[in-house]
Amino acid sequence: MLQHLWAGPTSNASVDIVQGRYYVEVHSVGVTKGSAMERILGEIVLQNKSITTPIDYVLCIGNFLGKDEDIYTFFEPEITKKTKKVSSTRCCVKGEAYFSVAIGNTHTKASYFLDSSDDVVHLIHKLYTQRN
């Protein structure tokens, strides 16, 4: 399949082809989870131009080590040591309101980690019950 992709339909396209253990991923060059998150948060700002208070929190959870590291460090360049606030390009999210979680891996740039996807379900349930 990889040979077909490299020689055939994607041979002249600007795409990255990534071979995983049980999958093949094809995406446009430069498209990452971090760039997708920036676009989503940017759309929130565009839809709500009158945002005067920061978003409550952003929770990013991932279990693909190599492909998730960019979301774990998404806000780092924008957070200043003095204010711990994020610039307006990062959608009014305070640095302390951004939580990154890796599943099953402790060697990560994520702020937190969980052992399994079952723990993610438990975490989301806890967040839901705390709010209600």
DSSP 8-38: TTTTTS-EEEEE-SS-EEEEETT--HHHHHH
Residue 124 confidence (pLDDT): 92
Residue 121 lies in a domain: yes
Tokens linked to 127: 């967040």
Has residue 3 been placed in a domain?
A: no
**Residue 37 covered by a domain:** no
Q: What is the pLDDT along the chain (132 residues), one digit of tens a residue?
A: 656 665 666 666 777 777 777 877 777 777 777 788 888 877 877 777 666 666 777 888 888 766 777 777 776 655 444 333 333 344 556 667 788 888 987 788 888 889 999 999 999 999 889 876
| Model pLDDT, residue 74 | 72
Whether the model clears a pTM of 0.75, i.e. scores above it, the answer is no
Give the SS3 label for residue 123: helix
Q: Residue 21: what residue type?
A: R
Bridge-partner residues for 19, per DSSP? 24
Q: Is residue 5 part of a domain?
A: no
Residues 131, 106: Cα–Cα separation, whole Å? 28
Does residue 29 belong to any structural domain of this protein?
Answer: no
In a domain, 108, yes or no: yes
For the chain, list the strands marked E by DSSP.
Answer: 15-19, 24-28, 58-62, 98-103, 112-114
In a domain, 83, yes or no: yes
**Residue whose tokens read 């565009």:** 46
**70 class by beta-carbon count within 10 Å (0-12 exposed, 13-18 middle, 19+ buried):** middle
Domain count, the chain: 1
What range does the domain containing 102 cover? 53-131
* Residue 111 domain-assigned (yes or no): yes
